[in-house]
Amino acid sequence: MADTTYGSCCIDEVGALHIDSECVVHYGQTCLSPTSVLPAFFVFGKASINVSSCVKHLIDYASKSDKPIMILYGLEYAHVIPQIREELGLSKTDSQLSVANVLCSFISPSKDPRESMEHPRPYSESDSSDSLSSSRSYRLGGLTWDLPEGSKIEDYLLFWIGSDSSAFANVVLTFNGCDIVRYDAEEDSLVTEFYQQRRILKRRYYLVEKAKDANIIGILVGTLGVAGYLHMIHHMQALISAAGKKSYILAMGRPNPAKLANFPECDVFIYISCAQTALLDSKEFMSPVITPFEANLAFSRGSEWTGAYLMHFQDVINSVKSESEAHIGSEEPRFSFFQGGYVEDHKTNDQAKNGEEDTGETMTLVQAAEKALQLRGNDHNSLTKQTAAKSGPEYFLNRVYRGLEINSENTLPEPYIVGRSGKASGYKHE
């Protein structure tokens, strides 16, 4: 059973718990995100592929390039990997060609979110006994692979077998410094041009810069199953309040423009979800939706984007740990590319405020109430918007409409009128 509210790649743990199940068998597309409560067994499905043609393409391509090749694949093609290995005549010592392994087909939840990452259970068919302890291991979209000591992933040419799915998009984003080739099994052809995907990276960079200017941030709960999601939410909350900004947690299932537009006060949303559904970008969204990794870049001062991109919760949290220790916030205000000048984050303000008063939460209400009781002149027609609101109540104060107006002068009941009838798509009188 897949998670219908969020994304079909995740396990619907909540749904499974309704029927007191003890284990979930997940069919089809999956992101292999670690679960938090239930053990899960995965059936990847077997997509059809012409193995010999694929191998031929691969060998042709490998002969043209002098880089070692790392073969990655969509999980629906995992079933042919042993066959491909065989046809390639791959020996373990051959460093020119290596194949990634499937992480596992069975996940059991662990209390510590980091544990499941440190001890990945390798896929039963693969032979991992000889993996070197000093090698660097990578994990992405359910695949895992090791690189021998001294080599970097940038030195490799990534060969992806599978369709242009979100798993592949993640690979392109994460390893944006690598050369990547995709073999499309359905079309039986090689795709080498990923202009559109590369463009996404720049676009994400723009969103990060935009998020830096945000005052109110909505944290969208995009999963209730992926291990560590609660930890991530708390981490984001802490991060945002440390940056002197205001956050609200919103749970709305899979976000769409109409749902998000119900919160126009939020300048940016952080979507906390599994790696494969995390990238939400559409012109229809009024405010940008970013991933936790991007939020980290945007809200921790002094962190600069260098091209690295992380998708998994564990990676993000680990990276923050190492970063925050190294970095002590500089005094210099932040330079905003949208306002073309220095912008002071409200950090100092809030710190000062928290010192004098007890908690920010209760005081905002008090202040809001104070403001609401102020004598406001006939400025209802004024078109000026005040400076950007820093919290929800403040935003609402600037709105023109403040609820139904009760006209106290006219006490007589209004005469009743006949309303419309029919359906919204076309009423009867139309």
> Which residues contact another protein by CB under 8 A?
2, 4, 8, 28, 176-177, 199, 201-206, 209, 254, 257-262, 264, 284, 286, 304-307, 331-333, 335, 337-344, 346, 348-349, 381-385, 387, 399-401, 405, 419, 423-426, 430
CB of 5 to another protein, least distance (A): 8
Q: What are phi and psi of 39, to 5 degrees?
A: -75, 150
Taking the least distance from each CB to another protein, the nearer of 134 and 384 is: 384
CB of 61 to another protein, least distance (A): 24
Taking the least distance from each CB to another protein, the nearer of 61 and 396 is: 396
Taking the least distance from each CB to another protein, the nearer of 359 and 387 is: 387
Taking the least distance from each CB to another protein, the nearer of 10 and 55 is: 10
CB of 277 to another protein, least distance (A): 11
Taking the least distance from each CB to another protein, the nearer of 92 and 380 is: 380
Taking the least distance from each CB to another protein, the nearer of 111 and 423 is: 423
Give the long-range contacts of residues 347-353, CB within 8 A, separation 24 or more: 347/242, 347/243, 347/244, 348/244, 349/244, 350/244, 351/244
CB of 37 to another protein, least distance (A): 21
Taking the least distance from each CB to another protein, the nearer of 315 and 345 is: 345
CB of 110 to another protein, least distance (A): 28
Distances (CA, A) of 213 to 35, 220, 244: 34, 19, 12
* CA separation for the pair 344, 332 (Å, rounded): 9
CB of 263 to another protein, least distance (A): 8
CB of 410 to another protein, least distance (A): 16
Taking the least distance from each CB to another protein, the nearer of 15 and 68 is: 15
* CA separation for the pair 117, 312 (Å, rounded): 10
CB of 281 to another protein, least distance (A): 11
CB of 62 to another protein, least distance (A): 26
Taking the least distance from each CB to another protein, the nearer of 96 and 349 is: 349
CB of 318 to another protein, least distance (A): 21
Taking the least distance from each CB to another protein, the nearer of 375 and 400 is: 400
CB contact set of 289 (below 8 Å; sequence gap of 6+): 207, 220, 255, 260, 268, 269, 270, 271, 280, 281
